[in-house]
Structure formats: structure tokens, C-alpha cells
Structure 1
Amino acid sequence: MALKAPVVSTTTRQVSTRAFSGVAPRPSSRRVVQCRAQSAEAAQLGRREVLQAASAAALLSASPAFAARAPSGFTAVEDVADNYKFLYPFGWQEVVVKGADVVYKDVVEPLEAVSVTLTATDKADITEFGELQTVCETLATNVLTAPGTDVKLLKTNLREQEGHNYYELEYVATTPRFTRHQLAVVACSRGTFYTLTVGANEKRWGKMKEKLETTMRSFQLII
């Protein structure tokens, strides 16, 4: 998660610099598609690549217990190497995006996607970055959107779950080309700052709202 140049007031710029001074880029772990896609590709891989893919898939794919709890219309992902899990809408495809740990997106609607990024931090809990509203405003305006984007923060929420704190936010990001309705959740644990973002074109928000909210709220650390 690269920290972008501030695009708002000097006050916000100072908050951003101070709040996220302990966050630094962290190399992404090697990832492959989930297990169900391995058999179709195995014939095209060498023996070494097949063994590597099988090993990585075992770490990335959903555990039976987590998958069994996935509601209808969702696919479960559990990454035991990086210690997180979440659900995403069934049918979305994994794509490779530089800087992201994993990305799934709709192949027809390009703005409908979910991503997880991991960055190194010296903080042990998200609350150490500051109060909910301040941190969420900084994230929405300075970190999760590109320079020049008009951002409107709509909602924030603190979720406490199994010993971890999560900051959740809902915001609308408007550019000259499109308007995207987005949700994000951030958390910290064991030197890692986790960010999940999911969203859709504002025109399709009414249709996708419940699915995207389920994805955001399903994100959970497993350590």
C-alpha cells in the first residue's frame, strides 16, 4: 500500500504524515490461484512448478471449515501464510496487480473488485494510529485514492472481533472518468498493516451493496 501525496488541506497532510509514519511497503508473498484451478493447468507446468503450485495453493485456498460457512453466492479464501481470510462474490476472477497481495474482480464490470494489501508497520493495533474518524478520513483522502480524486467519507465503524480491532469505512471516490462506491477495512497484527478494499461503480451500488458489505465484514485476521 503506497502512501500517496496528500490532496487536501495542510492539517490533513500533517495528520497523514504523523499517523502513517510507521507504515512501510512489505514484499508480497508468492500467490497462485485456488486449488480447483490447479488440475487444469498442471499439464502445462513442469514437475518443479507443479510441486511449487500445489504447496502454495495449500496455503492460499479456503479451509474446509471456513468454506463450509461461506454463504451462498460467495467464495472463501483463507491465507494461512499471511494470516487472513475473507469472502468474495462467486464468479470473480483472480488477477495480478502490482503492490497487492491478492485481487479478485468481475470480468464484466471492471470497477467491481476486492483487493488485499500488506505493509510493514511498527504498530501492534490499528487503534495506535489514532481515533477512528481521523484515521478513516486520512485513509480515504490520502491513501486509498489517487491524487485529484474527489472523496466523500460516508460512514466509519469500529469492529472488535476475537481480540483484534478493525476500522471500517465507506466512501465515494469521484474522478473525471467514473465514480466508485468503496468499502475498506484495516487492521494491524504482528508487524503487518492489512487493508482490504472492495467497491463498484456508483451506478451499480444499489445492486451490489449487500455483497460488498458481506465481503468487507468477512475480513478477519486468523492469528
Structure 2
Amino acid sequence: MASLPALPQLGFSPCFKRRAPFLVKASHGENAVVDAQSEVVGRRQTLAMGAVAASISLLASAPVSFAAESLKGFQPVLDKTDGYSFFYPFGWQEVVVQGQDKVFKDVIEPLESVSVNLFPTSRQDIKELGPPQEVVDALIKKVLAPSSQTTKLIEAAEHVVDGRSYYTFEFVAKASNYTRHALGSISIANGKFYTLTTGSNERRWDKMKEKLHTVVDSFKVFAL
């Protein structure tokens, strides 16, 4: 297509849970308030999904304690109500952010976080929305980053895990006083458009990227 599709054309509309905003003081002169949009900036995946996907698939049938042991240094999340699971780094804390289904973050480095967002959709497969770059580019500009930030999509690709398609991506969002490097994964199941995004301050990207790739690679949605 010659132009980016608007959100209605992507087949979903925002459906946020009403929660109180979470305010944090960012370190090293970063933004004093990390809002819901700046916390869900997403980007690329370069790690193979096989090894982590194999362990995350155990979540649906195995106890959470067993899943936690299968990936050292990470904690599992299994949402049986909404139908998704993933791992996040040990030590991150769950916080309440308006508009997000679930958020975990490092309270010292507030740009290091993972967020899950859900949107209702009538589509059955992520591929129905269009090719990865087109869909992800529209999602970043309309949902994942505020208009005040400059964004750059680095990569978007399709992956198939257990017969389900995922679009994974990497992008940079630049604000006036910080730059966030992030990764994301999106898929469709159960009448929902699932979006997981994680990232860190650009200055800590080299230190955090391996962990963040593991978070994105672990994301899995399942039929309810």
C-alpha cells in the first residue's frame, strides 16, 4: 500500500482498562513522568524464538514455579484470563499504568520496562492487517509513541510459533531529553490484538539488549 493505514483500517480500536497513572522520577535527568505511551515504545528482535518459545509453552500446563526455573534470572507471567504469557527480568516490579493491561519495570531505571496492551479486533490473524513493516509503522506512530517524539523503525519481521504468526520489531523513540530503544511483539487471538513492548534508555541498550530480546522472544498468546 502506498500510505500507512489508519487504526480503524488495522482492524482494532483501543480498549483500555481504567487505572490510575503511575508517576516516576526518571534518573540522570530523564523525563520526570514516564507516561503510558512512552512506556510502550517497541523495537526489533534478533534472537531466535525457538529455545525460549519451547520453555514458555510449558506455562499453559506446568506450575509457575517450574516455569520460573526454566529461565534463570527471569520471572514468568501467565494470564489465563486474557490468554498470554511472557518472562520479565527478576527484580522488575509490577506497577499500575493507565491504559496498560500489565506493566513491569525497574523503578531505578524507569525506561526499562515491559508492557502488554490489548485491543479488540475482528481479525483472525495478524497477517490480515498487512505486511509487518506497514502494520508496525502505523502502530508505533498511532499508539506506541506520542506525537512529540521522533521515531525510527529499525526492523519488523514475521515469525511463526506453534502455528501462530507474530510480528516482532525494533524501533527508537527520541524525546527532548532521552532516547528509548525498544523491542516489541504483536499477534492476534481470542478476538484480541496483543501488543508487548519492552525497552531501555539508549545509553543502557548494550547492557540490556540481551535481556530485552529474551522478554520479547518469550511472549506467547494462546487460545482460551
Coarse TM-score class (shorter-chain normalised): 0.7 to 0.9
Residue 11 (structure 1) aligned to one of 3, 7, 23: 3
What code does the residue aligned with 1:16 have? A
Across the aligned residues of Structure 1 and Structure 2, the Cα RMSD in angstroms comes to 2.1
Deviation, structure 1 residue 65: 4.1
**Displacement of 1:155 after TM fit?**
1.2
What is the TM-score with the length of structure 1 in the denominator?
Answer: 0.75
| 1:11 to partner: Cα distance | 3.2
CA apart distance, 1:103: 0.3
1:184 corresponds to which letter in structure 2? G
Distance 1:67 1:95 in 2: 20
Q: AA paired with 1:127?
A: K
CA distance in 1, matches of 2:125, 2:64: 26
> Which gives a bigger RCO, structure 1 or 2 (Cα 8 Å, sep 6+)?
2
User: Which residue does the alignment assign to 1:26?
Assistant: 15
Q: Which moved more, 1:164-173 or 1:148-157?
A: 148-157
Deviations 1:80-108 (A, max 9, x none): 11111000010000000111111000010
| Matched letter for residue 26 of structure 1 | C
Q: Is residue 18–residue 98 contact of structure 2 (8 Å, CA) maintained in 1?
A: no
Q: Computing the radius of gyration over CA atoms, which structure comes out larger, 1 or 2?
A: 1
5+ residue gaps in structure 1?
1-9, 31-58
Is contact 2:16-2:100 (8 Å) kept? no
Which segments of 5 or more consecutive residues in structure 2 lack a partner in the other structure? Answer: 20-59
Cα deviations by residue, 1:43-100 (Å, 9 ceiling, x for unpaired): xxxxxxxxxxxxxxxx9xx63443332x211111111111110000100000001111
How far off its partner does 1:142 sit?
2.4
CA distance in 1, matches of 2:103, 2:121: 22
Is the CA contact 2:7–2:13 (under 8 Å) kept in the aligned structure 1? no
Q: How does 1:108-147 map to 2 (within 5 A)?
A: 108-147=108-147
Describe how 1:1-223 pairs up with structure 2 within 5 A: 11-12=3-4, 15-17=5-7, 19-20=9-10, 22-26=11-15, 28=17, 63-69=64-70, 71-223=71-223
Work out whether residues 74 and 87 of structure 2, in 8 Å CA contact, stay in contact via their aligned partners in 1: yes
- Structure 2: distance between partners of 1:11 and 1:162: 32
- Name segments (4+ residues, structure 1) moved above 6 Å: none
Quote the Cα distance in structure 2 between the aligned partners of 1:139 and 1:215.
Answer: 20
**Deviation by residue 1:119-158 (Cα, 9 ceiling, x = unmatched):** 1111111111101111121122222110121111111121
Return closer, same or farther for 1:66/1:29 CA change in 2, 3 Å cut-off.
farther
> Take 1:220 and 1:155, find their aligned partners in 2: how far apart are those partners?
20
CA offsets per residue over residues 139-190 of structure 1, 9 Å max, x none?
2222211012111111112110112110001000001121000111111012
Counterpart Cα distance in 2 of 1:18 and 1:83: 23
Cα distance in 1, alignment partners of residues 15 and 205 from structure 2 = 32
Report sequence identity in percent: 43
TM-score (norm 2): 0.75
More helix by share: 1
| 1:26 to partner: Cα distance | 3.1
Query: Alignment length, in residue pairs?
Result: 180
Tell me how far apart the structure 2 counterparts of residues 26 and 153 of structure 1 sit (CA, whole Å). 25
